[in-house]
Structure 1
Amino acid sequence: MESFASSLLSLAHELFGPGFCPGDWVWATSTAGALIALFPVLGAVLVALIRKGTGNRYDAVVVSVIGAVGVVSVFLLPWLLANGVSGVYRAVNAGGTGGLSGPERSTMTTEYCFVGAQSSYLGGGQNVYETLFYPSAGALAYGYYLGALVGLPLLSLLFVKLQARSALRRGPGWPGRFFWISFIALVLFTAGVEANTAVHLWLGFLPVSVLGIIPVSLVGPPSRSVLQRSERKPEPRREPDPPPYVPPAEQQRQPPPPPDKQYPATSVAPAQESAGALAAVPGPVPVPPGSGQAGSSRYRRLRRLGHGGFGTVWQAVDNQLGRTVALKIAHAPDPDTEERMQREARALATINHPNCVRVYDLVEEPDGLALVMEYLEGQPLGAVVDNGGPLDDVAAGRLWATMAGALTAAHEKGVLHRDVKPSNVILDPGGLAHLIDFGIARSKGDSTMTATGMMIGTPDFVAPEAAAGAAASPASDAWQLAATVSYALSGSPPRGTRETPMAALMAAARAEPPAQLPRRSVHAKLLMASLDPQPRNRPTLNAVRKEVEGWLSRSGAAPDGPVTRLVPRVR
């Protein structure tokens, strides 16, 4: 390593070794420090390039590679070179060659200003440890060494951490520890370097550390598609069940099995094969024995909660279990409407999240097919904002984080919501938010249908790609949730309001930019990113939840607290 260090010194002397105070080799030492500082920069650039392909997937291989890059580029190589440079100066001062040529050694005896002979100044004094803990000079000299040998490394540490954080943008910051902990080890392990040599090495190291943030930033973070792919959970492998044994005689008597029935596409995302298949196959939800499918004698209706193109929602009492439920009844269901309700029931039955409405049963009522759901006491978010005004940043952050968690749980089960909006978020008396109305099982006459009969959601809160006729996706739900949060903060849909649903639908299909965003909110930048017209550019729901929960934690607010506190309605 001494030969490598001497070669580095010779190169630094050729690059910048002017013959004026404090001396050509003193300037060359600072130049060598600048060259050494390039190693951490190269390490950060390499990590940024690795994340271009791996995103936020930190398995054992990726973590090992990032750790090795951090230790080698920030600690091992700089430490070996710094000690090697100091060793060269010591050898020359003691009369040796130090790996330098004769002409190079001869110039070290030249005296300059306050330095004197450069060989003695750089290789004949105390090391860093002795200078700081056993000072031999006056108070002024000790203050100089304290500022140079402690202050310069601390400033360099700050910019090395910024390099690592820039390389880890749009992801967790904990891998940056491989960089800043390695740098602290470098500072400690260079305590044996000559003090004057260390001062000039740090003087060259610091400016390159500052400028090194630029190339790392130019590499850029991984794309949204890479991040979304890296955060997606692997699909579990399920071995098919072996067919039951049938004797040969029985095989001859059995008729051939009928062909599988084909059903139209559903509003279920293909996130997991098992959950997607469950949500796609029509048929009633399995119910416990004795629940009954007749319905007319079991559920006693109390009052109507809502009415629309999909049907009517009633508050009712389950006479068998004595609990209050919500009945969602389709108006005179045709086969297509009935099939969509069955899919919605199966989709909801697979979701288990505290902020998602729960489904209990699917029954036949005298006036149609009824979905029996959890009854949520409270008010819709839209009514709360209309009556009480917009939410503050903390309340909106809690709303965003909890609803993002609810939608993520649904997506993991292969279920898309497709109609996230303020009226589908219920705030209970404790102020906690709940997401309702999955699946959008509505009649063909609903005004939010396209010409092909495909349900796309409410026009003011529909994602641009869905309004243009593209298939819904988790990114569409993420857009609608961001639009709902924007409404909660501003009291207006992000694209503003239109005179007719068709005008709002056309504005969505044209991907008109949001003009009614809460500009003064701390969530403004994240809202702009989440409302990007291109689905691939939007942050994932997991990324949104982590960022919002991080801001809430830094603000001293619990992410799972109430959005607002409601006063129970008097009956």
Structure 2
Amino acid sequence: MGNTDSEGNQPVSGIASALLSFAHTLFGPGFCPGDWVWATTTAGALVALFPAAGALIVAIVRKGTGNRYDTTTLTVFGLIGVISVLVLPWLMASGISETFRAANAGQASGLSGGASLSTNYCSFIGTQKTYLGGGSNVFETLFYPRGLKLAYVLYLLAFTVLPVGSLLFVMLQARTAFRRGPKWPSRFFWIPFVVMAVATAGMSANTAVHFWLGFLPFSVLGLIPVALVGPPPWSVINRPEPRRDEPPAVPPPSRREPLPPPPPPQNKPYPATALASAPEPPPAGMLAAAPGAIPPPPGSRNAGSSRYRRVRQLGHGGFGTVWEAVDTQLNRTVALKIAHAPDRDTEERMQREARALAVVNHPNCVRVYDLVEEPDGLALVMEYLQGRPLAEVVDAQGPIDDVAAGRLWSTMAGALVAAHERGVLHRDVKPSNVILDPAGIAHLIDFGIARSQGDSKMTATGMMIGTPDFVAPEQAMGSPASPASDAWQLAATVSYALSGQPPRGTRETPMAALMAAARADPVTHLPQRSVHARILAASLDPEPRRRPTLNSVRREVDGWLSRSGKALDGPVTQIVPRRSPR
């Protein structure tokens, strides 16, 4: 059996001895503690390159695959992690130890220049072959100590600090390779490394110490090439995945079998599909082409009723006045938006807003109830949201913190994605159009300039629609709006909530703000100390195709909230404490 095991280990020992001989050539100085002791440290440094090479390969592969973690991709990444972090390092480490044990036993070691193993460079070391190939292994040294207590303490520190430090940097290599995506695939690297470190308990203790002394610094240097490769571009991350939720084809029923009854209607959750960075909006006829049931248009027999009793005025905008009112028939509070001038264009606009909201079903989007004709004009009956605009909260109480901003961004991104999937663009996302209810939950309101069916006629004059401080550069230049435009405006709103200022700063007049937007002036007022600064800068890129999609932003922000141990659906009204004056 002994001969069989020895023969089975010969290929591994041969590769390990070749690695040691190469390491001896690279760095094997003839001074204390000895040339082969230094070669062992050099060999540990070379073995540390295996995990770095694995992380480098993953980073390169993700340049083309992004965050598509299907079965094939996960299998490839898992194999790369196991081979580069567990199999190859463990085989080399155990082979190095066995090579020195063979040399100490007087057997052929396969080392070139191995005659110097019998040389004594230091009195406290003795001969190198006895120092490296004799004595106890790591397990025996730690759990069955012999000799001086000081020596045991040194061994204990070496076998905890060195492997744990190496583990930290292997984890950093993996997390760097998986940038701009979920971090959980980094387990393919650090879990195999833990197994490898435990498996080296059979190495000779002195050999293991010098092996880890070389492994640790080169695991630090291994971060450099992985970081230089860089993350996958947003264009790859935002690449839409093929839809997999289409029902399978069902063969037609037999003539003798009765047709099954239709299933009851179900409220399907909006699919979490990745929108492209800046796709062209669909043709006008495709936007909101099949809205939900709309209340009777003006002039019908149900119009003109006085069922809505106004309580107080809530706001006054460019297209209408919003009132708090009571539905006297259903006895509920509603918001009543009445057009200023009930001409044909305004009526079309109100009907378009009703259609836009009718097809959007999301808990953080304001809901439309009715479209009626009041004595003083056409009125849109909407859900009444009790609360304060985000702009008012920030202006009165100061900026919000990173956790609150993360929840705000994720919630509003979900609302906009739901609208985009129904062919509706908001086009005027700003702090005053985000209402925070008494529980601190954000709601998106005022789809009054949303793009829906018939909108091309309403914007034929080329008039820029939106708020200059929060308008995307391409909108200010007159280009068609897109989901990327809404993403820019939402990022600007989140930046305002974190800093208290629009991302481009304030201008003296609306025209000056519009000109700054049209010139794509750089964003100079970002919250640099925020953890969201990087993703904010990417989302406020002047080029729409380079911006991350709203789904990508949600994944990034939700991942940060989860790692921070914070709930995703909490309030967004946590205020940053103001500094007391000195």
Moved more, 393-402 or 420-429: 393-402
* 1:41 and 1:216 in contact (8 A); partners too: yes
Tell me the secondary structure at the aligned position of residue 532 of structure 1: coil
Task: Compute the displacement of 1:392 (Å).
Answer: 4.5
- Asked if 2 retains the 8 angstrom alpha-carbon contact of 1:340 and 1:441, the reply is no
Q: Which residue pairs with 1:405 in the alignment? A: 414
Find the counterpart in structure 1 of residue 275 from structure 2.
Answer: none
- The aligned runs of 1:262-273 (5 Å cut-off) are none
Whether the 8 Å CA contact 2:291–2:356 is kept in 1: the answer is no
CA distance, structure 2, for counterparts of residue 563 and residue 71 of structure 1: 42
Q: Distance in 2 between matches of 1:219 and 1:322?
A: 62
8 A contact 2:338–2:380 mirrored in 1: yes
Question: For residues 554 and 25 of structure 1, do their structure 2 counterparts lie closer, same or farther at Cα, with a shift above 3 Å needed?
Answer: closer
Structure 1 residue 509: deviation in Å?
Answer: 0.6
Q: Distance in 2 between matches of 1:531 and 1:94?
A: 68
TM-score by length of 2: 0.81
Residues in 2 aligned to 1:179 and 1:45: alpha-carbon distance in whole angstroms: 12
Query: Which residue does 1:507 correspond to in 2?
Result: 516
AA in 2 matched with 1:147: L
CA contact (8 A) 1:294 1:365 kept: no
1:139 and 2:149 matched: yes
1:294 aligns to 2:294 (yes or no): no
Q: Distance in 1 between matches of 2:138 and 2:499?
A: 59
**How much has 1:334 moved relative to structure 2?**
5.8
CA shift for structure 1 position 151: 1.9
- 1:41 alignment partner AA: A
Structure 2 residue 131 is matched with structure 1 residue 121: yes
Partner of 2:47: 36
**Aligned-pair CA distance for 1:463:** 1.0
- Alignment correspondent of 1:534: 543
Tell me the matched-pair count.
Answer: 529
Distance across 2 between alignment mates of 1:122 and 1:20: 16
2:107 alignment counterpart: 96
CA distance in 2 between partners of 1:61 and 1:326 (Å): 52
Matched, 1:281 2:282: no
CA contact (8 A) 1:283 1:342 kept: no
Match for residue 194 of structure 2? 184
Counterpart secondary structure, 1:306: strand
The unaligned stretches of length 5 or more in structure 1 are 244-268, 443-448, 567-571
Q: Aligned in 2, Cα 1:180/1:242: closer, same or farther, shift over 3 Å?
A: closer
Report the secondary structure of 1:217's partner residue.
Answer: helix
Which of 428, 431, 435 lines up with 2:440 in the alignment? 431
Corresponding residue SS for 1:305: strand
Distance 1:200 1:492 in 2: 56
Percent identity between the two aligned chains: 70
Identify if the C-alpha distance between structure 1 residues 280 and 235 changes in structure 2 by more than 3 Å, giving closer, same or farther.
Answer: farther
Q: Distance in 2 between matches of 1:345 and 1:235?
A: 31
Report what 1:492 is aligned to. Answer: 501
Counterpart amino acid of residue 66 in structure 2: G
Pair 1:52–1:547, CA change in 2 (3 A): same
- Residue 173 of structure 1, CA deviation: 1.2
Q: What does the per-residue CA deviation read over 1:347-370, in whole Å, with 9 as the maximum and x for residues that have no partner?
A: 322322222101223345555544
CA contact (8 A) 1:475 1:540 kept: yes
Aligned to 1:456: 465
The superposition leaves residues 432-454 of structure 1 with CA deviations (integer Å, 9 ceiling, x where unpaired) of 22110125169xxxxxx988435
SS of structure 2 residue aligned to 1:377: coil
Aligned mates of 2:339, 2:395 — CA distance in 1: 29
Q: Match for residue 475 of structure 1?
A: 484
Match of 2:38 among 27, 30, 35: 27
TM-score (norm 1): 0.83
Larger mean Cα displacement after TM superposition, 53-62 or 551-560? 551-560
Whole-angstrom CA distance in 1 between matches of 2:176 and 2:168 = 12
How big is each residue's C-alpha offset from its partner over 1:356-395, in whole Å with a ceiling of 9 and x where there is no partner?
1012233455555443321112232223334444445554
d(CA) in 2 for partners of 1:276 and 1:126?
Answer: 79
In the other structure, the counterpart of 1:155 is 165
The Cα offsets for residues 302-343 of structure 1, whole Å up to 9 and x where unpaired, read as: 044333332333333334433222233445566665455444
Residue 247 (structure 1) aligns with: none
Cα distance in 2 for residues equivalent to 1:237 and 1:334: 44
In structure 2, do the counterparts of structure 1 residues 385 and 199 end up closer, same or farther at CA, with 3 Å as the change threshold?
Answer: closer
Q: Spell out, residue by residue over 1:392-449, the C-alpha distance to the aligned partner (whole angstroms, 9 max, x if none).
A: 555444433322332233234333211011221122233322110125169xxxxxx9
Partners of 2:19 and 2:43 within 8 A in 1: yes
How much is the aligned-residue C-alpha RMSD, in angstroms? 3.4
- Which runs of 5 or more residues in structure 2 are unaligned? 1-11, 253-277, 452-457, 576-582
CA contact (8 A) 1:282 1:339 kept: no
Contact kept, 8 Å, 1:271 with 1:412, in 2: the verdict is no
Counterpart contact for 2:295–2:372, Cα < 8 Å: no
Give the C-alpha shift of residue 239 in structure 1: 8.9
**AA matched with 1:186:** M
Among 442, 449, 454, the residue aligned to 1:440? 449
Establish whether residue 72 from structure 1 lines up as the match of residue 83 from structure 2.
yes
In the aligned structure 1, how far is the partner of 2:376 from the partner of 2:245?
A: 41
Q: Following superposition of structure 1 onto structure 2, how do residues 320-339 of structure 1 map, counting pairs within 5 Å?
A: 320-331=329-340, 338-339=347-348
Between the aligned partners of 1:283 and 1:366, the Cα distance in structure 2 is 27
Aligned residue for 1:280, secondary structure, equals coil
